[in-house]
Amino acid sequence: MPSGRKDRQQRLTESRSGSFGSSSQDYVALATQLFAHSAAEAQGSSNGNRSTYTLAGIPVLFSAFRALLIEGNFGMFGTGRRPDVLTELGNGINECVVFGNHYDVTSDLENSLRTLAEVRNEIVHPTHLPAGTSHGTPEYLVSLRTLGLLQSSGRDDVDYVWIDQLKSHRLFAHAFTVIAGAAEVVTTFHYADAEFRTMHLASYRRWTSLTKT
């Protein structure tokens, strides 16, 4: 059977014929629609926060971010192509590593993005067995608990099962904030036209009109 992974890698490192356009905006638009549903579900929940849509929204936001990195480094936004970065992405190097190595990013934003990437991994590669902590949050993600971003009963001696803790509208809002910050860095580097950059970034801010969270 042909390797899909190999084909995806080669599309980033070889010049092939065919059409190509921006798809990062499609993912952001989908994430925004999911966020609207999330806000409605959270509003109807007992504590104003529980939302199953977060489990879909965070992976979609990372797809948007990866697509944006590909588009920018392909030269779509006017400042030239960077084949070395496309090769790294094609070789499976984590988007967060690529972001930290090739852009002028603050340590706070880079750390927030890395933590969020782990949440994405917890969702798309579930290992939802006991974490060995009294509250059920994996030790390496306790910072999210400390920040109040998880769906929680408020008790540290016992809490909801781990995947239920991720069903948090506040966590979805946090994810949008982090991805929007990363998109601002990427577009600042790649856009030759400031006006088009501003228009592009507007899509990463539409979620703010959907909730007071």
pTM: 0.93
Place of tokens 């592009």: 200
Give 21 or 146, the one with higher predicted confidence: 146
Identify any residues that bridge with 191 across adjacent strands, giving them in sequence order.
78
Q: 73-92, pLDDT tens digit by residue?
A: 998 898 888 999 999 998 88
Digit-coded pLDDT (tens) for 42-84: 999 999 999 999 999 999 999 999 999 999 999 889 888 899 9
Residue extents of the structural domains in the chain: 23-124+169-209
